[in-house]
Amino acid sequence: MSDIKLFHLQGDNVTELTGSAAKIEKSLQEQIEKNLETYLGVRFLATEYSTGVNHGGRIDMLGIDENGSPCIIEYMRSMNEIVINLHEH
């Protein structure tokens, strides 16, 4: 995992949360889709969205942010960790 630390705050008590890396991209993708608005403030629209015949690709996840702008979320595996890249336009 990275050096990013997460904490649970409850009143005056602070507890460090133990992180873990998702072993399977699909399980991470499903978790993010179900909670996209909570994690990133983005409303989920579609998964594995086709870019059409001309481009012949797909977008891992498509959403809309609070300003109504499209968000493209791509998952990439790097150095045995999964990286999420969020593009807002």
Alpha-carbon distance of 35 to 4, in angstroms, equals 20
Q: What is the pLDDT of residue 45?
A: 92
Q: What is the pLDDT of residue 21?
A: 64
Q: Which domain holds residue 34?
A: 22-88
Considering its fold, how many domains does the chain have in total? Answer: 1
User: Alpha-carbon dihedral of residues 25, 28, 33, 34, nearest 10 degrees?
Assistant: 150
* Token duo for residue 67: 């300003």
Whether residue 14 is contained in a domain is answered as no
Whether residue 81 is contained in a domain is answered as yes
Whether residue 44 is contained in a domain is answered as yes
Q: What is the pLDDT of residue 1?
A: 44
Whether residue 32 is contained in a domain is answered as yes
Q: What is the pLDDT of residue 30?
A: 86
Residues of the chain with pLDDT under 70: 1-4, 20-25, 76-89
Whether residue 26 is contained in a domain is answered as yes
Does this model's pTM top 0.85? My answer is no
